[in-house]
A and B are shown apart, each in its own frame.
Chain A
Amino acid sequence: MKVLRVFSRIILLSLAAAAFVGLTGLYARSARIPLLLPVEQAERQHRPSEPEVSQFPEFIGMFFFFLFWVGIGRVGLRLRLSPVPRSEKQPISLNLQRRRPGQAS
C-alpha cells in the first residue's frame, strides 16, 4: 500500500515535470539566443572530461554567489519561516511529533 502511494506520487511528479518540459520546449523554440563568439563556442564544446583542480576558485566563487542569493532572500525579501527572532527561543516544528502506536496519521 505504501509502495503504491509512493508510486502514485512519483507519477504525479512526472506529469508535472512533463508539463514543464513541454513549456521549456516551447521557450527553446521561440527564444532568441545570443550569438556566441567562436572562442566561447570552442570552449563550451570542448570542456574537459576530467576534474580540474585549478578551477577550484570557480567553485568557491559560485559558493559565495549562492550565499549572495541566500542573503538577498533573508534580508532583501524578508523570506522568513517565522517572524519571531531565534533569540526569543521560539521552537521550530520539525514534524517530529510523537504518535502513539495505532494512531492514524
Chain B
Amino acid sequence: MGTTSAAATCDSAKPAQWRLKTTFWLDLALLVSVIVLQTAGFTGLVLHEWLGLAMVVMVVAHLLFSWSWIASLSRRMFAVQSARSRINYLLNLSLFAAVTAVIFSGILISQKAMPLLTGVKAAPDMDWRWDFVHNLSSDFVLMLSGFHLAMNWDWVLAAGEKLFRRVPGGAL
C-alpha cells in the first residue's frame, strides 16, 4: 500500500517538475531575448526580426504558464490587496502593454521578416513615427523586465536551486 502511494506521489510530482523546468528555461530564453533584441546592430536585422516574432510565442507561453496567478489577481483586482500585489499587477500589465507595443510597431517597420511572410515588399522609407514608438517601447520593455525579474528574484533562485542542486525539502 505504501509503495503504491509513494509511486503515485512520484508520478504526480513529475508533471509539476516538468512544468517548473519548462517555465524556468522559457523565462531564461525570454530574458536573453529581451537583452539580445536591444542590440539590433549585434544580431543583424534578420535575426532581430525573427527573434522578435518568436517572442510572441514565448510571451504567450509565459502568460499561459502564469495563468492561475493572472486570473486570481484579476478577480481580486478591486478587493482589498497588499500594496505589493497591486504594484506587481500594474507592473506586469505595463510590461504586457510595452511588449505588445514593441511587437506591433516592430511588425509595422519590419524590413526582412514580414515582407517574407506576407509577400508584401517593405516600404523603401522608414516610418519614423513607428520607429520612434518601437525604440521607446523597447526601452520600457527592458526596464520593466528588470523590475519583473526583481519582483520574482526569490522564485528564480528557489527554482534554480530545485532544478540544479536538488535540495530535498528546500523549495516546495
Residues of A participating in the B interface, judged by any CB pair closer than 8 Å: 6, 9-10, 13, 16-17, 20-21, 23-24, 27-29, 31, 33-34, 36, 41, 44-45, 47-53, 55-56, 58-59, 62-63, 65-74, 77, 79-82, 86, 91-101
Contact = CB atoms under 8 A, between A and B. Distances in A.
Nearest to B36: A59
Q: What's the dominant secondary structure at chain B's contact region?
A: helix
Interface residues on B, range: 35 or more
B151 A48 contact: no
Nearest to B126: A45
Interface in B133-172: 133, 137, 142-143, 145-155, 157-159, 162, 170-172
B170 A20 contact: no
Nearest to B144: A69
B17 A96 contact: yes
Interface of B: 8-9, 11-13, 16-17, 19-20, 34-36, 38-47, 60, 63-64, 67-68, 84, 87-88, 91, 96-97, 100-101, 104-105, 112, 125-126, 128-133, 137, 142-143, 145-155, 157-159, 162, 170-172
